[in-house]
Amino acid sequence: MSSLRTLVFYATPAHDCSYLPDREATTMFVDPRAHIDRKLYSQLTALGFRRSGSHYYRPHCEACNACIPVRLNVNEFRPDRNQRRVLKKNSDIECTLVPASFSEHYYRLYANYVEIRHKDGDMYPPSREQFISFLVEGSTDSWFLEMRKNGALVGLAAVDVLDDGLSAIYTVFDPALESRSLGTFAVLWQIEETKKREQPHLYLGYWIKECQKMNYKTRFKPMEALHDGQWRTLETE
């Protein structure tokens, strides 16, 4: 059984940063041969690690610390006017948690989302193998949040269960329904689910101040950021 004391870590060679132009990035990975149970995964997450399939990683850039791990204290969260509007707009969406798995239905939604919204990203072009390796493989206590309207699948969010809350991994939705803000809705649902489980935190991955695509994370307050091994309230103003 692996533990924090016995884990071995590896760093990748420098490569082009996926988020900031003209910068290089280095990523630290947990040895893929390690057995990661939910307790260890929760400890790694509290230290700023994320999961992508069977890989557990965190940025390890020598000259840059722009990627900041963030989480939300759900018990102190109060939705703002826009978030309340999103909840009202999506009151007809049926949400169900199901074990993470592959289905052609899920994949078609994922592929359509990537092809329309992320042609400039690392996930383009999408493939079934990519979907499985990113969202299905390596799951410890991993689930898909199905979002359905009149029975039709319109959104899918990958969610991991931790000892102290939930971890929001990734969300896709039908681009034709962009006006519904289903990405925001998925986070709001996960906040309420975390509260129901009587757990304190929803982990939202990394926030980069200079990356406009990540600005939505700071709309969930009070957001906490990991600095020098300590979680502190994130000041964004």
The CATH number linked to 92 is 3.40.630.30
234 within some domain:
no
Residues 89 and 45 in one domain: no
Residues 82 and 61 in one domain: no
Residues 188 and 139 in one domain: yes
Residues 55 and 96 in one domain: no
Residues 168 and 59 in one domain: no
CA 43 to chain centre: 16
The overall average pLDDT reported for the chain is 94
pLDDT of residue 193: 98
User: What is residue 12's DSSP assignment?
Assistant: P
- How much of the chain is in helix, strand and coil states, percent to nearest 5? 30, 30, 40
All residues at 6 or more sequence positions from 2 whose CB lies less than 8 Å from its CB, including other chains: 34, 35, 36, 37, 40
Parent domain of 53: 9-67
How long a stretch of residues is the chain? 237
Residues 162 and 176 in one domain: yes
229 within some domain:
no
Average pLDDT over residues 145-174: 98
Contacts 24+ apart (CB under 8 A), 25-29: 25/59, 25/61, 25/64, 26/59, 26/60, 26/61, 26/62, 27/57, 27/58, 27/59, 27/60, 28/57, 28/58, 28/59, 28/60, 29/55, 29/56, 29/57
Average pLDDT over residues 185-193: 98
136 within some domain:
yes
Where a domain ends, among 20, 47, 67?
67
Average pLDDT over residues 214-237: 90
Residues 103 and 202 in one domain: yes
pLDDT of residue 139: 67
Residue 125 — pLDDT band, cuts 50, 70, 90? very high
Residues 62 and 86 in one domain: no
Where a domain ends, among 50, 67, 84?
67
Residues 74 and 37 in one domain: no
2 within some domain:
no
Where a domain ends, among 67, 87, 111?
67
1 within some domain:
no
Structural domains of the chain, count: 2
235 within some domain:
no
Residues 83 and 95 in one domain: yes
3-class state of residue 8 by DSSP: coil
List, in sequence order, the alpha helices (H) in 91-153. Answer: 104-117, 128-131
Residues 210 and 154 in one domain: yes
- In tens, the pLDDT along 20-69 reads 888 999 999 999 999 999 999 999 999 999 999 999 999 999 889 999 99
Distance of alpha carbon 105 from alpha carbon 132, whole angstroms: 13
Please tell me the pTM assigned to this model.
Answer: 0.95
Describe the crossing of helices 81-89 and 182-196 by its angle, rounded to 10 degrees.
100
Residues 98 and 160 in one domain: yes
